[in-house]
Every structure is written in structure tokens, then in C-alpha cells.
Amino acid sequence: MQSGMTGISQISRLVTAAAIVIAGGLALPSTARAEPPPKHVSGNTTIPVYSYAGAAREVVWVRSSVDSDGDGALDRIAVDIVRPVDPTQPDLKVPVIIEASPYYTCTNACGRGNELERKLYATTDPASPVSRMPLYYDNFFVPRGYAFLAVDLSGTGRSKGCADIGGPGEVLGAKAVVDWLNGKAKAFRADNTPVTAPWTNGKVGMIGKSWDGAIANAVAATGVPGLRTVVPISAVSSWYDWERLNAGLVAAVSSMDDLHLKVTGRPPAACAATRTTLQTAGAAVDHNAFWGQREPVAQAGNVQASVFAVHGMNDLNVKSSNFGRWWQQLAAHGVPRKVWLSQEGHVDPFDFRRAAWVQTLHRWFDQWLQDLDTGIMSEPMGSVERGADVWADSAVWPPTGTHNVVWSVRSGNGVTGELTTGAPQGGEAAVTDVAISEPNAAAAPEIGKAGRHVFLTAPLAADLHTAGAATVVLRIRSSVPSSALTVRLVDYGPRQRVNWELGSGITTLAPETCWGAQTPADDACYHETTKNVIATDTSVLSRAWLDTAHRKSLADPTPMPADTWETVVLRLHDTDQVIPAGHRLGLVVSLTDSTYTWKAATGGSVQIDLHRSLLRLPTAPA
């Protein structure tokens, strides 16, 4: 906007003159002059023109809307800022990239990125700005006309409040930072003097992996104005799904209280009440109000930002169902979006597809935060890793024409069942509840084993492409009121595969590459990685778990009536895989999973009614 205002009489004269000219059939010449682009814009891209060494570095505390530690004062959230300055452009206003994280200063084997970087400060003075920012975002983007803000989540680093693990304290604290950048919240310096952000245009993007990505999702789900895009990487969209497998079972991961202890920066007494909540409500196996506060997927209809999601299909920390349900809801609400799906586990794309990732992320942020037409929204929506460093693009994801194909389960030879697109047949199969590990359950499908039953296709006549979330429907009769139920889709056939069980699929190498400008205190160089590959005959493609007592409701468990047939439905984790011709697809049914759940085996048994059980497999065109 121009600083001056045109008088009303002058406007009237201009409008009258314009009307006369138009009435006379003459074209009205344009007098508007396009504002020249800032010097960091060249064509449809941003270029590094600002000094990283000369960037402004400061720390402010944004006042949240919640008092998560109950001390009578609203939380103050620490925000470390690195932003470009240019004496020739004193009115320069730039967009902002935020990563809100609990990991910036914790020392218990945590930090940011593959190399576990943490914030470093020049002095111990609370007002000391950051001298080393983790990761490369500031190094790469600040010279290109972006500010980068590293936000300590509530109760971590230099922030007040309490770490409530995806709860209102963390989410609304991070949201307040977006509000401050748009003039809707207050912030203060260390000496308590108010501070504003006149250097930003209010356009904000958020990025982060895992917990950080969960906060990006959750802030987007508040619908906060000014948040233009989020980039969630291996991100949680439901903490219940992460901790309880969305199935009433306890996953073999950290408890909510363990996470608090890992990252908290507050004295124990300050957050005793929060810990009590994490230890009680957060320990509940049943879905409750605590878990309901931590499910941005349920609020996806509020999202006003675009979303670029990245997830490992073999991520057994944040399972791909966290991506899949989020993606499904974003699609239902027409959110502009893009996705990368990799064969790795819990790994940042910077460490499995580095050059392409930085280039793509640059174009994504330029599109959504700099208002440049980079062409990225006209390109394929999906990019999927088929094998180690072999990627295939898809115009939309799941691919157009993907539909559910129903596979029946049959008795087979009595040891190994049959999985077929033919009509169902009668018969039953029995599975005894003994603890069995995933490798043992998936291996050697032709051999009978206690604790599992395998249904196997004939060798496939053509490649089979599945994309999305498969569903298994089982008609069962249980001898016990509650037991675990586990199903897996398995690809049987020799192949070189990413070995996600070793280092989540990558090995860190000695050589480094550099991605942005640097200072003596903050370089932009990171170790290269290589993919871990292995030749195997067996690959688990997707999984699902269920506590049979939660078959009807995650909030209100009901025991299985003895010797009564009931139907249960299991939604497997989202994936995109091609099973080659000649391989066999297996559906492995077991009960207690000793690898990924903590539920004890009951010693009971489950009967499966084969005539009324099936697999619905989302199948993409060949």
C-alpha cells in the first residue's frame, strides 16, 4: 500500500473522467505501475543476495494464550530469530519459516537432524541471541529473503510453561508466534520491553519432522490466519495413534511422561501437575479427552494452509497411518497438497534424497511464501520411492483409477491358506495367542507355526500396485474377552530392498556437502548418507493391530462374548508398493505381536470364519 491517501474529490474527478472516456468507446490507458520485485527475486525464484553473516539475530518471548504451568501468568515462548537486513531496503519485509521444536537444547541423546544439532548461544546471558542454529534452513533461506524462527515449545529451552506433548500448551504457544508475526499477539525482549515484527509481511510457513511436524499439523488445524503452508515430515497427526496404534493397544514406544522428561527445561515442581496428567490421562489405553486434544487429524477441516507431506512407508516410529488419515482428510477438504513417500524409516528427506529435496523445498516455499509461480503446483502431486533411489511420480496420489479389489481367504492346503480374487468358500482357521515376533510371523509362509496363520496368493501373473490403506475384515470367535489381533501384508519373492531395519535405511558417511551460507559459528555442511540395501525374500509392506475389546469403540471397550461370532475391521497403514510379477502376496494373521506391542499373550485362541472374511486392497492401474 502507498503511504499517502487520495482526497475524495480527486477520486470523484478520476472516476467521472474514466466514465466519460469509456462511454466514448475509448480504451482507458493503464496508469498503474507494478512494484519492482525485491532484489532477492529473479524471475520465478529467490536468489541468495543478503549477507548471512550480517543477518539480524535476536531472541524474543511471545506471550501465549494459555498458562500451562498454572503459575498465574500466560506462558512466554522463546523465539530465536535470524533474518535478512539490507541498508538499501530499509522497509524490506520478508516471509517467515518456523520450526517449533522441543529438541533445540535438550541433551538426553536428542537434537535436530541426523547429526543431533542443538542451539548454541554466544553467552549464558538470557538475552544472548543464537549463534548456531540447528539444521540448514537459516543458512539456505535467509540469504534468499526469508526469516527463520526456531521456537522452543512450551516448557523446553528458554520457554516458560510445560511440555504437554502435543497438547494445548505446545500448540497454542506455537500458534501465538504466527499471531505475533501478524500483529495479533504480544512479544517481549529479555528486559520485558514490548517488541513487534515490522520486518515481516506476515506470510508464514512451518516445517518439522516427527514431534516438530506434529506441531506444524496442529497449528495448521487451528486455522490460524497468516499460516500459508506446512511441511510435516514423518509427522504425528494423532498422538493416540502414535502411542496406542489407534487400536486400544500400547505401542512399544516412549510413554508421554518419558517424552516430557526427555525434553523439559523447567524445574520439576513447576510442571508437577502436567506430569500427573501425562501419567494418568496420558496412560489410558482407552481414548479419552486427553487424546482428543492431541488429534489434529480430527480438525483437518480448519486447515487454510497448503501441505507438503513426507513420510517413510517403513517408519515404525510414526507409522504411516498418521500420514494416511491426515492426507485423506486434507483431500476431502480440498487442501492444496503434495507428498513424498520413501522406503526408509524415520528419516528426513535431507538425508535420503538431499539435492532434490532442497531444490523442491525451495520451490515450494517460493510458491507459497514469496507468491512466485514456480510451476510446482502443476507438477505431479506424488513422488514414491520404488526401490533404493528409484522414484516414480504420480499426477495425483493415490493414482487416478485406484480402487479396492476384494481378495477372499480360503483354507488352502490346511497349513497355508489361499488368498485369491475368487469367490469365498467355507471353513475356519484357528490362531493361538502366543507371543510371536514380526520376523517369525512373516517368515516361511508354507510352514505351520503356532501363533500365526498365512493366506498366500499364487505367483502373480503381473505386477500388482497397491496404493493407500488396505482393509482386512475378519469374522472371528474368541475364547477370551480381550486379545490382541495383528494383520500384515507381506511381499514374498527375492528382491534388493531398502534395509530400513538398519539405521532406518541410511548410513552416515564421512564426506560433507554444504547447503547455504555460513559463519565461523554456524556452518551449513552436513555428512552425506548412503542407502542401506539388502537382498531378501520377504518384506512386510503394511500392518494393523487391534485389541478385540476395542473392536466397536476406542473409548468404551466391550469384552468379546465367549463363543460368539463377531466382525472386526482393521485399517492397515498407508503404503504405495509394487509387488513384482512372480512374487506372492501374503496376508499374515497373528494375535500378540511381541515386536511392536506390549500386550501380553493370553494363551487363548481365535477362530476365523473364512467365508465371511476378506482383504480389500486399494489397487492402482498397471
Residues annotated catalytic, as ranges: 210, 315, 346
The cell for 13 is: 474527478
Listed in sequence order, the residues at least 6 apart from 264 whose beta carbon sits closer than 8 Å to its beta carbon are 155, 156, 162, 163, 271
What does residue 8 show for φ and ψ, rounded to 5 degrees?
Answer: -65, -40
Listed in sequence order, the residues at least 6 apart from 2 whose beta carbon sits closer than 8 Å to its beta carbon are none
The cell for 561 is: 462374548
User: Strand 464-468 vs strand 575-579: parallel, antiparallel, or unpaired?
Assistant: antiparallel
Name the packing angle between helices 168-181 and 211-220 (round to 10°).
60
Q: What is the DSSP string of 304-350?
A: -SEEEEEEETT-SSS-THHHHHHHHHHHHTT--EEEEEESSSS--GG
C-beta separation of 474 from 610 below 8 A: no
Please report, in angstroms and rounded to a whole number, the separation of the first and last CA atoms in the chain: 53
What distance lies between CA 388 and its chain's CA centroid? 22
Distance CA 508, CA 350 (A): 12
Q: What is the DSSP string of 217-277?
A: HHHHTTT-TTEEEEEEES--S-HHHHHHTTTT--BSS--HHHHHHHH--S-GGGGHHHHHH
Distance CA 165, CA 255 (A): 10
What does residue 340 show for φ and ψ, rounded to 5 degrees?
Answer: -120, 130
* Residue 470 amino acid letter: A
Angle at 240 between CA 481 and CA 117, to 5 degrees: 140
Which residues on neighbouring strands pair with residue 535, listed in sequence order? 496
Of 174, 170, 152, whose CA–CA distance to 294 is shortest? 170
